[in-house]
Amino acid sequence: MQRASRSRHAVANRARCLSAPASTGFKRFPVLRTQDTGQDLVRNPLFNKGTAFMMSERDRLGIRGLLPPKVLSMDAQLDNEMANIRKLTDPLMKNLAMQDLQDRNETLFHRLLIDNIHELAPVVYTPTVGKVCQHFGDNFRRGRGMYFSSKDKGEMSAMTYNWAAKDIQIVVVTDGSRILGLGDLGANGMGIPIGKLALYCACGGIAPHRVLPVMLDLGTDNLDLLNHPHYLGVQHRRLQGSDYYELLDEFMAAIQTRWPKALIQFEDFSSDKASPILDTYRHDYLCFNDDVQGTGAAVLAGILGSLRQRGKGAAGLLEERVIMCGAGSAGMGILKQLLDAMQVHGISRDEAAKALYLVDYTGCVGSSTERDELTRQQVAASKGALDGAKLPALIEAVRPTMIIGCTGKGGLFTEEVVSKMAAASDRPAIFALSNPTANSECTAEEAYVWSKGRAIYASGSPMAEVILDGKKLIPSQCNNMYIFPGVGLGASLAGSKRVTDRMFIKAAEAVADSISDAELAEGRVFPQLTTIREVSKAVAIAVYQSAIDEDVATIYPKERETIVENVNRRFYDPSYVTLARGE
Ligand SMILES: O=C([O-])CC(=O)C(=O)O
Ligand SMILES: [Mg+2]
């Protein structure tokens, strides 16, 4: 097995930031040390500044003559990049242009993403990332992250040393078995960890050399892909049973051995595996499942936001009646999250479960076997009489305040469903969360038109504003992107031993508390995307505090430093800093 010795990456990642803003009011002068010089430096995306290298740096770092003579400011570079991206009309092409930028200059990439988050989040993340995955093999240019596959049995621990960075903070891993609402995309699913980690850096304050996207390629059951000449994954059906779990276990141990403090985020694992995997590892690894827990917390945040919208406090949660459509990992995660949050207000889990209705392909779930997971059993327990009831009839029977879709079935919320919701509640909350956009259960426009403008609407992928009877209605994006970057940052900065359930409740509250009065007046139930860095900081602070309260933190703020100051000090801010030569 080949080990990375003094690769360009190794050099880059040995660089350390020598200073950071001080808490005494002035901003310290930041300097980065790098061993790279000359052509190695301009080809290293972690340090490259392109035309923005000053003349003195070009002399000092051996790059004079490797760039055109004019020195540009970062602002000029940003204008230029954005103009080039706007010239492209196809979102997939825009994504490829962003990938190229990330491969050249990570600082500029993240700055561009932050400064244009509204326009570019849909390009690097949902919905475009769905297309990126579908065409991953066709467009493959350069490896990013790591691939562990069924061919690597017994080698994974050694392989981790091929990645030079010693201080990885966040690993996002998928096995590609349920990519967004698109199903099994095998190794093509790598687009998802890459997209999630772009948001970790741009929105969640994690420095780019501290993240690692991973594809755990244990085969695919998508035969079209397997037979496609451009498919780049292993050429066999998906492993099952102990063959699968043993390789996953080897991977987990490899990561923990090499980077003991790294947080592992499970992403887009199929429903049958998501919860068992989480249950296996959550007690002795720092890990969480974004689709189960991140989505659960995002929906809780959206409900708390809806309560603020209706002028109610958090205890109003106990007056909600919620229909949850979709019994996959997201649906079950949402129900569990709601049960956890309702219990905080002093009622028992079984009592809380009476207000929650689960709908799967058979209709309302009113009976459950002992083998089913606990949340399903609890929710089914009180619904015997409604067992099998289909959506419109169920809505009439229970008069819900909210309906949530995580089914992957575009168009499930028909005019009949939405108008019955509007008959049941003054301000029905309609959360059509499946991704990408085409899989959304109904569009914002449909929800507003069919509810005569009364719906509180949120979708998983962004939707445009709607003008109805001359009134502007602004849909919200209820996406785990409001949750996972801050949870990962907070848990990681606290050196938390585990990611706990309470952290997700605190994260959801922090998101809902971040909605400004002006945003509420516009009908939003989530803060605007342009404030996402501040929201992620608030989430990280809440999670850090929770780690301390629950006695799972191992790293504390420095003496005379608050958690807020600590998070602010360590929050990555992409800007060019002076480069110095050295170890
Ligand atoms: O990626 C997203 O936008 C949300 C998510 O985790 C999923 O749909 O699987
Ligand atoms: Mg996901």
Which of 285, 315, 331 represents a domain boundary (last residue)? Answer: 285
Do residue 264 and residue 339 come from a single domain?
Answer: no
State how many domains the chain has: 2
Q: Ligand 1 test: best mutation among 133, 200, 295, 407, most atoms within 8 Å of CB?
A: 295
Residue 143 lies in a domain: yes
DSSP class of residue 292 equals I
Q: Check pocket membership of 290 for ligand 1, CB cut-off 6 A.
A: yes
Q: Residue 405: what pLDDT?
A: 97
Q: Check pocket membership of 477 for ligand 1, CB cut-off 6 A.
A: no
Cα 355 to Cα 60: distance, rounded to the nearest angstrom: 67
CB atoms within 10 A of CB 114: 18
Q: Check pocket membership of 126 for ligand 1, CB cut-off 6 A.
A: yes
Enumerate residues with CB within 5 Å of ligand 2 (an ion). 267-268, 291
DSSP H or E run through 308? helix 295-309
Residue 488 lies in a domain: no
Residue 557 lies in a domain: no
Is 60 exceeded by the pLDDT of residue 19? no
Q: Residue 22 — pLDDT band, cuts 50, 70, 90?
A: very low
Average pLDDT of the chain is 93
Q: Residue 24 — pLDDT band, cuts 50, 70, 90?
A: low
- 413 C-alpha vs ligand 2 centroid, how far in Å? 21
CA distances from 419 to 318, 422, 424 (A): 24, 5, 9
Cα 107 to Cα 444: distance, rounded to the nearest angstrom: 35
User: What is the signed CA dihedral for 512, 514, 519, 523, rounded to 10 degrees?
Assistant: 0
- Residue 470 lies in domain: 293-481
Cα 576 to Cα 119: distance, rounded to the nearest angstrom: 23
CATH number where 108 lies: 3.40.50.10380
| pTM, two decimal places | 0.93
| Residue 79 assigned ligand-binding role | no
Enumerate the active-site residues: 125, 196
pLDDT in tens, 224-245: 999 999 999 999 999 999 999 9
Q: Ligand 1 test: best mutation among 190, 480, 482, most atoms within 8 Å of CB?
A: 480
pLDDT in tens, 427-455: 999 999 999 999 999 999 999 999 999 99
- 199 C-alpha vs ligand 2 centroid, how far in Å? 13
Is 70 exceeded by the pLDDT of residue 489? yes
Q: Ligand 1 test: best mutation among 273, 441, 479, most atoms within 8 Å of CB?
A: 479
Cis preceding linkage at 91, omega within 30: no
CA distances from 270 to 184, 185, 192, 220, 361 (A): 8, 11, 14, 12, 17
Do residue 84 and residue 106 come from a single domain?
Answer: yes
CATH number where 299 lies: 3.40.50.720
What is the number of the ligand 1 atom nearest to the C-alpha of 195? 1
Tell whether the torsion through CA atoms of 160, 217, 95 and 111 is positive or negative: negative
Do residue 240 and residue 213 come from a single domain?
Answer: yes
DSSP class of residue 293 equals I
Cα 289 to Cα 329: distance, rounded to the nearest angstrom: 9
Is 70 exceeded by the pLDDT of residue 6? no
Which one, of 139, 147, 149, 81, lies nearest residue 115 by Cα?
Answer: 81
Mean pLDDT value of segment 327-345: 95
Do residue 149 and residue 239 come from a single domain?
Answer: yes
What is the number of the ligand 1 atom nearest to the C-alpha of 461? 3
Q: Residue 96 — pLDDT band, cuts 50, 70, 90?
A: very high
Q: Residue 25: what pLDDT?
A: 62
pLDDT in tens, 520-563: 999 999 999 999 999 999 999 999 999 999 999 999 998 889 99
